[in-house]
């Protein structure tokens, strides 16, 4: 019997240039990664890959994200797969993520600071390591670390809409000038609408900042959601905040934080940040919804009481709902 005949007995039909048709369920003992729709997978391995390879398989992995992104086609749901290793992927200049429905996932243990790591060593002034300017992209299971010493820089900026981030560790303000810059950040939403961040870690608590913010929101940011996210900071300048909303045009309708933790490290518990959010005085009738979310090392949500907060948390003492306090016997 021919090879085609033997395959047919197993439910596998050769259909020429269209590949193989599997007529029975297929189980992969070691797990699998499948393309989405008509999309292709492009593998990247910073330790073992080469940009002279095709990227079509782990054994033919590319070395850089930029080379893989150049191979992606807009609106095809191509996916870049980052193979985690002891070697970080590097971005020497801003990566303009400008192809709709193009995705990136890391293959590593799904922990904060995942071993599928991206280090940003230098960017254009006041620009992020990755700028997502299009819609419908998914990002999952990697860390990005912005180490450049440029004022106003950050790790990720999103200007497109309906994008999804899951288990992405977004670390900005590691460089000296960025730590002291009022416009620096880890994550910036600039006109981004209806994006969802789920189980993400945003910010950095191993380098001390004296200015800036963890999340910066500007432009028309409508109905964005943060679910089960951890915002972290190391700041001993009490007037600085975790989340800054730049102007009244930024919010429209709702901004949701559900099961989120906002943590600021202050050495020896010597003080706290005065507030978590900076909200413009003219920002009226639009709602910041906080459900089961908590403050640690931060005195309150909004010191100016702008009236935009809707809080659903228990009150551990006479403090604002969601402010975590130490037990009296510790």
pLDDT for position 25: 54
Q: Are residues 197 and 274 in the same domain?
A: yes
Q: Are residues 289 and 223 in the same domain?
A: yes
Ordered alpha helix ranges (H), the chain: 3-9, 65-71, 176-179
Tokens of 38: 């008509």
Q: Are residues 14 and 57 in the same domain?
A: no
- What is the spatial distance between Cα 236 and Cα 243, in angstroms, rounded to a whole number? 16
- What is the spatial distance between Cα 262 and Cα 298, in angstroms, rounded to a whole number? 8
pLDDT for position 30: 46
How does strand 89-91 pair with strand 117-120? parallel
Q: Are residues 95 and 51 in the same domain?
A: no
CA-based radius of gyration for the chain: 22
pLDDT for position 330: 42
For the chain, the domain total comes to 3
- Bridge partners of 97? 132
Q: Are residues 276 and 132 in the same domain?
A: yes
- What is the spatial distance between Cα 254 and Cα 31, in angstroms, rounded to a whole number? 39
Q: Are residues 137 and 197 in the same domain?
A: yes
pTM of the model: 0.86
pLDDT for position 274: 94
- The residue whose two tokens read 């900042």 is 209
Q: Is the Cβ–Cβ distance between 255 and 283 less than 8 Å? A: no
Q: Is the Cβ–Cβ distance between 165 and 200 less than 8 Å? A: yes
Q: Are residues 18 and 60 in the same domain?
A: no
127-156 pLDDT tens trace: 889 999 999 999 999 999 998 888 889 999
- End-of-domain residue from the set 86, 108, 126: 86
Q: Are residues 114 and 253 in the same domain?
A: yes
Q: What is the mean pLDDT of the chain?
A: 85
Q: Are residues 45 and 57 in the same domain?
A: yes
Q: Are residues 55 and 27 in the same domain?
A: no
Q: Are residues 40 and 81 in the same domain?
A: yes
CATH code, 201: 2.160.20.10
pLDDT for position 311: 72
Domain, as residue range, for 17: 1-32
Low-confidence ranges of the chain (pLDDT < 70): 1-35, 123, 125-126, 283-285, 306-307, 309-310, 312-330
Tokens of 30: 């070691």
Tokens of 162: 């309906």
- End-of-domain residue from the set 61, 86, 111: 86
Phi/psi for 231 (5° steps) reads -100, 125
Q: Is the Cβ–Cβ distance between 238 and 267 less than 8 Å? A: no
- What is the spatial distance between Cα 90 and Cα 204, in angstroms, rounded to a whole number? 19
Burial per residue of 215-245, b for 16 or more beta-carbon CB atoms within 10 angstroms, e otherwise? bbbbbebbebbbbbbbbbbbbbeeebbbbbb
Rounded-to-10 torsion of CA 201, 204, 205, 206: 130
Q: Are residues 252 and 103 in the same domain?
A: yes
């Amino acid at each position: 019997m021919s090879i085609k005949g033997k395959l047919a007995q197993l439910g596998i039909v050769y259909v020429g240039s269209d590949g193989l048709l599997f007529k029975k369920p297929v189980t992969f003992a070691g797990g699998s990664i499948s393309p989405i729709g008509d999309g292709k997978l492009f593998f990247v391995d910073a330790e073992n890959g080469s940009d002279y390879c095709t990227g079509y398989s782990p054994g033919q992995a590319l070395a850089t994200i930029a080379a893989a992104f150049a191979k992606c086609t807009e609106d095809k749901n191509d996916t870049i797969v980052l193979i985690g290793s002891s070697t970080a992927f590097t971005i020497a200049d801003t990566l303009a993520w400008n192809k709709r429905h193009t995705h990136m996932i890391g293959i590593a243990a799904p922990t904060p600071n995942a071993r599928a790591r991206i280090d940003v060593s230098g960017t254009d002034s006041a620009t992020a390591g990755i700028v997502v300017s299009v819609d419908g992209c998914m990002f999952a299971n990697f860390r990005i670390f912005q180490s450049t010493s440029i004022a106003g820089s950050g790790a990720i900026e999103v200007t497109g809409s309906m994008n999804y981030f899951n288990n992405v560790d977004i670390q900005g303000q590691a460089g000296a000038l960025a730590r002291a810059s009022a416009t620096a950040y880890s994550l910036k939403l600039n006109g981004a609408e209806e994006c969802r961040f789920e189980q993400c870690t945003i910010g950095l608590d191993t380098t001390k900042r004296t200015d800036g913010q963890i999340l910066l929101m500007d432009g028309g940011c409508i109905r964005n959601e943060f679910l089960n996210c951890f915002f972290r900071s190391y700041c001993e300048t009490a007037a600085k905040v975790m989340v800054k909303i730049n102007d009244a045009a930024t919010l429209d309708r709702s901004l949701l934080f559900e099961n989120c933790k906002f943590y600021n490290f202050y050495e020896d518990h010597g003080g706290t940040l005065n507030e978590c959010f900076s909200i413009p005085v003219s920002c009226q009738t639009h709602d910041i919804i906080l459900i089961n979310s908590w403050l640690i090392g931060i005195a309150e949500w909004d010191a100016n009481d702008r009236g935009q907060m809707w809080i659903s948390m228990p009150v551990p003492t006479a403090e604002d709902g969601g402010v975590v306090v130490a037990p009296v016997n510790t």
